[in-house]
Chain A
Amino acid sequence: MESVLLRARGVPNSRSIDTYLAAGGWSGFAKALSMTPDAVVQETIESELRGRGGAGFPTGRKWSFVPKDHPGPRYLICNADESEPGTFKDREIIEHDPHMVLEGIAIASYAIRSNTAYIYIRGEFVRWAALLEDAIGEAHRQGWLGRNVKGSGYDLDIWVHRGAGAYICGEETALIESIEGKRGFPRLKPPFPAVVGVFGKPTVVNNVETLACLPHILTKGAKWFASIGRPKNTGTKLYCVSGHVKRPGVYELPMGVTFREIIEGPCGGIREGHTLKAFFPGGSSAPVMRASEVDVRADFDACAEAGTMLGSGGVIVLDDSVDMVETAANLAHFYAHESCGQCTPCREGSDWARDILDRIVAGHGRPADPETLLRICRFASQGMTICPLGDAFSLPISSIVKKFPEEFERHIRAASTVPQKKLPVLPWAGSRPGFGS
């Protein structure tokens, strides 16, 4: 398959606007400017593009929720807070092709009639934030951004806003709060950001990869995009494969390939001398899959049918050397560290689950622990919390407990009892000198 999103990988000087323009760059935005914003929305709806950040919500429909009659400013936010464990695709796009991201932002901004866009990039990506700043400078100088873009009468400014180390800010309302200069606490919904978003104005938050698809949809047409992959799961997808494969990395494949095709194809299979044990199909927040489920198609609907989710497309591959209880403990540490602390079930639940899993790993498991973990997960998910972080920590942990009960049993069978703290006991009076023998 021809590379679309990763076409610049390996191209010399790929980040410069000249290279980008030579490859037909910025023509998608030029085309969008010749259309009405509504036509751009329509084109995107027809492409059946779904959000690549994790939820898989149809992008065009998300845009269409922005009130048309709203008089004030609206905002587009590019979510480059890539923090989901196992996900590293956005960095790859920015590294090789920052202008593709900017062009996508420009198209989306035009579609929702926004004149200001922010790129919220995770704080650790210092270098990639700088790359985007450089690209924005170039685009300004060549008239693709700023006032009256290419004589169209359309104004657009893009600003890079760096986060500062908080996974939760990848959640769109937490991200909005963070841009507003607050702690990254997700907001109660409704109202949804499309109506009341950043600075109280209608706002659309789209993932980097989602936006990067737009220039191609505009230039090659919605039909072309929809022809890739399967119905309702269209286009190419960046799969980020990490863990125990021979060649980890980001691979662009048509939506709907199977996980086996991804792992055994470009990744070269499991490392020598080991076999596949389990994999997370879409970042660590997706329910884990056993090796036997490797033939599931890697798209939104097929994953959902299989009881998991495509999420961000971050495939974490674990071979037979991995202890699944330790895996669960590792993830529990991540989520306990990243829970913002607002909602009781997530704040307390993630911490508690971490403590239980640490204890099992330390050799002090109890027979009741798997049950307790499932109870924590059940009541920290399914709408018990403001944002999906409750689900994000519950799904992987509960799925590990359910799919690998034998590993928990092994740990717990081998466990010594919890070491009891010795309480101070007063010496028996009889043993004291002067009180008999």
Chain B
Amino acid sequence: MSTKPILSVPTEQLENTTFDATMEERILELLKRYPTTRATLIPVLWLCQERYGWLAPGVIRAVADRLGESPAYVEGVATFYTMFYTKPPAKFVLQACETLSCAVCGGKELLHHLESRLGIKPGEKTPDGVFQLVGVQCLGACGTAPVVQINDDYYENLTIERLDAVLDDLKGRS
């Protein structure tokens, strides 16, 4: 698996975000799917997160303007869902499942290992900005516990050794 790193655009560059033709085209495509404009909000936020790496205030304002919502509304929706980043993420976000099946099948040990290997606590980023550790709730892959999702990819049936190998690989590629 070759997990793609997240390239987050710096805040300053997103201050006055405007959507280019490609984005606009994709938004128009989404608008056809739903009877209301508002329904495209979450898909459009996904588009933006793919494009800019995260949802900076400037991006939220641009989405709000494009969809005719107040920026506060858009921010309220974005912060309800845990997968939207309203702070710039690291290149690789390690989302270690903490819920029951993973926890009893080595997930706890895995998380502790990640904490000591990276020297960070859940929620923090490594100083070089390569890794970010997040403890997440059930990822829906309990049969292959323990599971860590890295960016968009699931890494299942993990052991400390396998996870180390994955991190070494990602670190090498960053």
Which chain A residues have a beta carbon within 8 Å of chain B's beta carbons?
Answer: 73, 82-88, 90-91, 122-127, 157, 159, 161-167, 178-184, 199, 240-244, 248-250, 280, 284, 314, 316, 318, 321-322, 327, 330-331, 333-334, 337-338, 340
Contact = CB atoms under 8 A, between A and B. Distances in A.
In order of increasing CB-CB distance, the 7 nearest A-B pairs are A164-B81, A181-B41, A242-B142, A165-B83, A165-B82, A181-B38, A242-B101
10 contacts: A83-B138, A91-B141, A124-B95, A124-B154, A157-B33, A165-B81, A242-B101, A280-B100, A316-B142, A333-B98
A159 B101 CA distance: 32
Contact of A73 (B35, B67, B152): B35
Nearest to A333: B98
Given A123-B46, A181-B67, A284-B99, 9 more contacts: A82-B140, A126-B152, A181-B36, A181-B40, A199-B36, A242-B105, A243-B142, A244-B104, A248-B145
Contacts of B103: 330
Contacts of B100: 85-86, 243, 280, 284, 316, 327, 330-331, 334
A88 B46 contact: no
Nearest to A318: B104
Nearest to A241: B143
Q: Most chain-B Cβ atoms within 10 A of its Cβ — which of A162, A164, A280, A337?
A: A164
Contacts of A88: 140-144
A265 to B, nearest CB: 15
Nearest to B152: A126
B56 interface: no
Contacts of A241: 143
B142 to A, nearest CB: 4
A420 to B, nearest CB: 27
A248 B77 contact: no
Nearest to A340: B80
Contacts, number: 142
A181 B143 contact: no
Interface of B: 33-36, 38-43, 45-46, 67, 76-77, 80-84, 95, 98-101, 103-105, 137-145, 149, 152-154
B46 A162 contact: yes
B141 A159 contact: no
Contacts of B67: 181
A392 to B, nearest CB: 12
Given A127-B152, A167-B137, A330-B99, A199 B35 contact: yes
A87 to B, nearest CB: 7
A321 B36 CA distance: 52
A199 B38 CA distance: 10
B39 A181 contact: yes
B40 to A, nearest CB: 7
A159 B29 CA distance: 12
B46 A91 contact: no
Contacts of B38: 180-182
A242 B138 contact: no
B141 A243 contact: no
Contacts of B138: 83-86, 167, 284, 334
Contact of B80 (A157, A183, A250): A183
A240 B143 contact: yes
Contact of A180 (B39, B46, B149): B39
A27 B165 CA distance: 46
A248 B145 CA distance: 9
Contacts of B77: 181-183
B83 A123 contact: yes
A91 B103 CA distance: 21
A164 B140 contact: no
A196 B58 CA distance: 36
Q: Most chain-B Cβ atoms within 10 A of its Cβ — which of A73, A161, A166?
A: A161
Nearest to B101: A242
B83 A249 contact: no
Contacts of A334: 99-100, 137-138
Q: Most chain-A Cβ atoms within 10 A of its Cβ — which of B67, B103, B105, B138?
A: B138
B126 to A, nearest CB: 22
A91 B80 contact: no
Nearest to B1: A127
Nearest to A85: B138
A10 to B, nearest CB: 16
A163 B99 contact: no
Q: Most chain-A Cβ atoms within 10 A of its Cβ — which of B81, B95, B154?
A: B81
Contacts of B46: 123, 162, 164
A54 to B, nearest CB: 14
A316 B137 contact: no
Nearest to B103: A330
B34 to A, nearest CB: 8
Nearest to B80: A183
Contacts of B105: 242-244
B155 to A, nearest CB: 12
Nearest to A166: B81
Contact of B143 (A163, A183, A248, A338): A248
B44 to A, nearest CB: 9
A122 B81 contact: no
Contact of A163 (B36, B40, B76, B81): B81
A85 B145 CA distance: 12
A166 B138 CA distance: 10
A242 B143 contact: yes
Q: Most chain-A Cβ atoms within 10 A of its Cβ — which of B84, B101, B149?
A: B101
